[in-house]
Structure 1
């Protein structure tokens, strides 16, 4: 068995002493129906049964290392791994998963850069544009792997719910090369053993491990997170690949046993918090719920990372989605920082709701120089929400308190639907105090599903009715995050039974300093600048290509200006392709009349997609409220696009 270097061992074995108790929670209610549950509080301040919510200590006065919460140790370890690697400020767009793997193979132990898959769809283009607006690169380039340079040319056809053939081989080859190792050969010991030995030789202890199924398209997230954070991958066959369904306790125990066996084989300490392996990332559509008895569920991500007695040895999270979408979520976690926030508090200021007070959370964020938008009493009604949601939300962090169910949420007594969830200007991490929101996160008709569809890349919510006390109070969550605690740890109580809060995220995502940007050339030959692509399209009058390039470059205002000029000077150029390429830039810039023009000629699949229909309703409501010259046109389009899941409300 290999031994950790002494200096590294000292860091990893820092003990974790209890942190101070938080304010008492004076009652236990359900974020679903407001029911107060009777509790025997016993002597002293009330803490929810089995739950402790310790705030992050005041970081203005440095704590001795031994007092750091293990979740803070974990977040800082993960952050240090990234901070030690410079970032090339170029976003690389690739057309297929094989090119994606080869681009990541170009990473080195000292340098990384974002890689996203552009499959040509408008949804992928929106994800990329959202990432670009947040990351603010110096350039965006296209690159494609040349199969002639490789002994094999794996097929690259993508499917929404299944990985391309040969995904594991692609990932393992790329992962080895990203860390300076030769690609795997049949005579080598398993790759994860080689990688762990290599990392330890370089005083780098993996903070977690990743679980992937080579049939599942989220292998793209597994590769990125393993290559960025130095984590071994357990490749296994999971019992189901349907995130919206459930598994049995026996199936869950079998998955946990595989993970623990792999952790043991890694030759790293893993059995307690504060040792080496403190995180598990499920990069697959493993069902998010475990059915413990008929119609009773707990969160899969809360069972994984625990011993049979429920003692936690790691915090777990999950990333799922198509190959482009899973890559997007992983790249957001690796490269993006929290610089802005939006908080909406749908609760009143009575007990116990006030203990989840977003105003207090906002104060902590503002002190950290995070630009913060706050909607709280008296501006926390449905009308306040709708006014805010009419424009895209520019917030890296979103904290919401509401009550409701999987498809609707109540704000200060008024009901909103999933279709009232705003579109996002930049990717966001999110914590929502709300029952049932993540029952079916793969379905856009639900609360979690709509947020994820609109660009959230990290989400903490509930898979069943957890009751209010199961959620970390919003001010404490903000404190924890600002203190550097890993996202997967910040959203869970320090001591609890396996329960119903899930983490749909890389659990190692954390608030951290900026990684240094490096002015060096990409290690990829044959890249094509998106700027050159834009110039060529503009010179040839190819409007659809021009608007698509502008969107990917984050230049919405230019799209709005040029679209207006096109309508004036060459209205015959407006066709389905042009409308699709420009639509969301027109929405983001508030160019409402042009947006409606574009909507009338959209291809059928986009015009009926909930993402576009939501944007239409936001524009339409504004047009009707302001009695604009085009409000009748807006009403006509809205009437033709009633959302079935909220038919009565529309």
Structure 2
């Protein structure tokens, strides 16, 4: 028998004599990562290991008659399928309980393997490996028992399998998940907020206005007399609105020097044209207390550069200047995407600040420049297809997150509006709208009940659950405009539709909104983010300033459950970090995307001071 589509799937660049397909329903689980790496390491000269995913390669699964469930109906056992270099089927192993069975299977089919030491046994407790997957699932609470189980397993495996990426990944990720259960205060603004809004008529005026921030206070600066400015002012309700004079007409296009000088002055330094980027970043890092919460990559020529500059100053983030590495709509090859990831990591390491400890070091990557949005997955990985570049860029070499990325998009006026909302607006009300039935798994895990209980402690909530989450009910709640500052939607569909109980809704059913943060569990709401007629595009046009969704089918388990998001946000972690999965079947670089400032916390404790009096400003 020949392996179906072997020419397409049998990735074997080193022309090794054998290919081992590892079929899985959980390509991000620890057991899958570990087994693939252990087999690859032991038989490096003999075979290539190729992952196959139960969703992305489902037609292949059907042709191969692969069932991912054991007798109890639980999904976790990977199946091993061995082929020769021409695609001839040599054997398959789908039912096993011990590591020695995998060893015997490989040794029985690989001629030169019989003299090798066994890659897995003794030393690998396979039932414990799979049991750990279950306690680290997206739906199991992380507790002392699961942490202890991971620690014990790591101690056993470290001695037998030194320097394995999968073990480093588990160790780093467990530590990060535990950190997110603690309280964090480092993401709050460090300077008092003045109750004034300034409106700059042009970019030169905006940068000049930003330079008047100092070590004692910050305040919103908007760009132009636009609907964005009006929307922000209605929500912020300042004591004073000041219209700034036009900027220098010869300073039309911002340069690195423009950004550098504005940033230096905005944190209390002298706006000297001779100040280098290294000098600026040294000041930023010192102002942050030595460990900045994030870094901002800025292309001064980009429309979103002004927004990125404001975010860098307000949060004391160092800056990296960069030209655009490609158009937004471009889909990079994996090789090009990986090169970009490594380049970013080199630039971050050069800052000389801690970044590897997710949750208490440099945690945010803000892209204030044009970056490609998509890339193609590696040819040997399960679940092939397009993925979100931003979710790859913030990974260490072992696949662990070092942070979260947030992408700024739009024209200068809308990007500045979103930055100011992220920095200076507090939550006022929340809307939870879920069309998921709550009587069975996995849907019941995404019930908003527990999250609502948390949010109701600080603000009023509207809650609509299936079967009441109909289009008529949505229109009743939002038809005159959405008034909720935090919106959580459980739905399904594509870029141009989203399901409700008993039917479908369209982007035009999304009415105008107050400034809001949007989290939508959905198959592809962010597939066309630049299209104002798409689901995400409509939310941005309506007033959303941060948005978390999917750019292609991610499968439900990829999303963090609403109760965990609420826990993390109330612990003080930013929205961008609260939404990201650390453990589970889709915790590797995947298809979920975040737009906006990645370091936006709940901001429920923002306090204001009276605005300062400044000469030369007209009310």
Fold shared, TM-score > 0.5 on shorter chain = yes
CA offsets 1:337-394 (integer angstroms, 9 cap, x no match): 122111100111232211101233222211x221111111342112211222311111
Residue aligned with 2:377, SS:
strand
- Matching residue of 1:260: 345
Matches within 5 A, 1:343-362: 343-351=432-440, 352-362=442-452
Deviates more, 1:134-143 or 1:274-283: 274-283
Residue aligned with 1:334, SS:
helix
- Residue 399, structure 1, aligned to residue 488, structure 2: yes
Q: CA 1:250–1:215 in 2, change beyond 3 Å: closer, same or farther?
A: farther
Contact 2:176 2:359 in 1 (8 A): no
- Residue 196, structure 1, aligned to residue 196, structure 2: no
Superposition deviation, residue 275 in structure 1:
4.8
Contact 2:295 2:365 in 1 (8 A): yes
- Matching residue of 1:325: 414
| Aligned residue pair count | 462
- Matching residue of 1:96: 202
CA offsets 1:56-105 (integer angstroms, 9 cap, x no match): 99xxxxxxxx99944477962121xx1x3111111111111111111110
- Residue 464, structure 1, aligned to residue 464, structure 2: no
Q: Distance in 1 between matches of 2:183 and 2:385?
A: 32
Q: CA 1:506–1:354 in 2, change beyond 3 Å: closer, same or farther?
A: same
Q: Distance in 1 between matches of 2:433 and 2:412?
A: 32
Which runs of 5 or more residues in structure 1 are unaligned?
A: 1-27, 31-35, 58-65, 148-152, 157-164, 530-650
- Matching residue of 1:419: 508
- Residue 128, structure 1, aligned to residue 229, structure 2: yes
Superposition deviation, residue 475 in structure 1:
2.3
Q: Distance in 1 between matches of 2:299 and 2:546?
A: 21
Q: CA 1:115–1:54 in 2, change beyond 3 Å: closer, same or farther?
A: farther
- Matching residue of 2:365: 280
Superposition deviation, residue 460 in structure 1:
0.6
Deviates more, 1:411-420 or 1:464-473: 411-420
- Residue 77, structure 1, aligned to residue 180, structure 2: no
CA offsets 1:153-190 (integer angstroms, 9 cap, x no match): 5343xxxxxxxx2343322110011112223545x5x3
Superposition deviation, residue 290 in structure 1:
1.5
- Matching residue of 2:577: 489
Instruction: Report the structure, 1 or 2, having the larger helix content.
Output: 1
Q: CA 1:53–1:269 in 2, change beyond 3 Å: closer, same or farther?
A: farther
- Matching residue of 1:138: 239
Higher relative contact order structure (alpha carbons within 8 Å, sequence separation ≥ 6): 1
Give the counterpart of 2:256 among 142, 148, 168. 168
Residue aligned with 1:423, SS:
coil
Contact 1:346 1:401 in 2 (8 A): yes
Question: Over aligned residues, Cα RMSD in angstroms?
Answer: 2.9
Contact 2:468 2:501 in 1 (8 A): no
Contact 1:116 1:128 in 2 (8 A): yes
Q: CA 1:215–1:202 in 2, change beyond 3 Å: closer, same or farther?
A: closer
Give the counterpart of 1:207 among 293, 315, 332. 293
Q: CA 1:432–1:198 in 2, change beyond 3 Å: closer, same or farther?
A: closer
Residue aligned with 2:609, SS:
coil
Q: CA 1:301–1:406 in 2, change beyond 3 Å: closer, same or farther?
A: same
Residue aligned with 2:314, SS:
helix
- Matching residue of 2:596: 505
Q: CA 1:201–1:437 in 2, change beyond 3 Å: closer, same or farther?
A: closer
Greater gyration radius: 2
Q: Distance in 2 between matches of 1:444 and 1:253?
A: 30
Q: Distance in 2 between matches of 1:216 and 1:198?
A: 22
Contact 2:193 2:608 in 1 (8 A): yes
Matches within 5 A, 1:11-410: 40-41=75-76, 52=138, 69-71=178-180, 76-79=185-188, 82=189, 84-118=190-224, 120=225, 125-147=226-248, 153-156=249-252, 165-186=253-274, 188=275, 190-197=276-283, 199-200=285-286, 203-242=289-328, 244-292=329-377, 296-351=385-440, 352-366=442-456, 368-410=457-499
Q: CA 1:453–1:306 in 2, change beyond 3 Å: closer, same or farther?
A: same
TM-score using structure 1 length: 0.66
- Matching residue of 2:83: none
